Structure 1
Amino acid sequence: MTEKSTFHKGDIILLRHAEKAQLTKDITEPELPLTAKGIEDAKSLGMLLRNQGHSEHLCFHVSPRKRCIQTARYIAMGAGITEPLILTNHNLGSPGPFVIDHEIGYKVFNNAPLKEVVRKFIMGDQQGCFLPMEKGCQNLYDYLASNSDSNSISIYISHDAIIIPFIYWLTSEDLVESWLPPLGGVHISDTISKTLLNPQEVLSSQL
């Protein structure tokens, strides 16, 4: 029996990628893959969407980084989609909607803890490399809205440092201290903007 759905055509689901591997000297950060747990979690989300009857209505937009592409592929696999259309876009990562000076941005992200960088950004410090948060978030929102349609559930896969400021701008919810776990994100529809606080919320779809 098909379960009652909490997602509907026209909805936007913006998620952080599933759990990624640890960085080592043998692999660059953009090429970090998912862990075995990340793969299974992504498949589980896809199975949930399939059980709700959404397999034919999913479209994927992702950051160009490997872990985001993999997340979309495994969600699609769990949903029973054999040839998913997965579109990459730099609004979702590398560099995302905020960074305007790549050289300074690289130094900022490599010389300070990520939580500190995101906290300063939310507080209005552009750190020499970012757009103002309000402008960057509006640009991201406009991108999400313009690439979604009423006949699909649009799944966007991005990164914590992008989604946390966006959620703050959209809902006033500050996740800097608690952070955003893998597959956490936000569900946007005509009637709600609902933060998904943990992976279980996403996987069980208790919105």
Structure 2
Amino acid sequence: MISFLFFCCLSGVGLGVVVRQFPPEFITNPGQKVQIFCSHDKTDYRVMYWYQRSPGDTAMKLIGYLNYKTDTMEPTYGDNFSISGDLGGDAAKNVSLTIKVNGSGQGVCLGLEVRQSPSELISKPGDRVHIHCSHDKTDYRVMLWYQRSPGDTAMKLIGYLNFKAVTMEKPYEEDFSLAGDLSGSTAKNGSLIIKVKGTEHSAVYYCAAREAR
């Protein structure tokens, strides 16, 4: 069985918005087409990105994005993936990712509703800011934090929390830290703490979750 995680993310100035993905998981066979739906209530966010994280990989690979009604796909994903939806208007936003499953064995595709707060944050150098993340997948014991800088579609891993243990990527060790406890059988909560130095910390930040391995 082959597992994949797919995440939909937004473009905008906010640090976090409640993004809902459905179905939360499904199992499918090669040759079938499946759809993952993504929605949110930030009516002025007109771009939605889709990322894939393969087993054993902490990096998020961009599949493509939708800008209003126009989709742009990365060359690697153009044959077997497509994105559809309409991000115009003033209503809640809804988009879908369609996948033609190839390869041997079954595929397990997972999506997860992750809540971040605050949704937007303005700070000045010297401030310490906290971004909180929570989800209800009680057996997901790892929480990963990513940064996407202005003008960049790639998401860079800041670090991750595994149960209570923190692992930070070297470029972020000085100004970033993580806190939380992902053990137990209750909803999961973690936080990213940033010591703001300047414009290099102006970015969109995302949290993601997975099972411990």
| TM-score of the aligned structures, taking structure 2 as reference length | 0.28
| TM-score of the aligned structures, taking structure 1 as reference length | 0.29
Task: Name the one with the larger strand percent.
Answer: 2
Greater RCO, 1 or 2 (C-alpha within 8 Å, sep 6+): 1
Task: Name the one with the larger helix percent.
Answer: 1
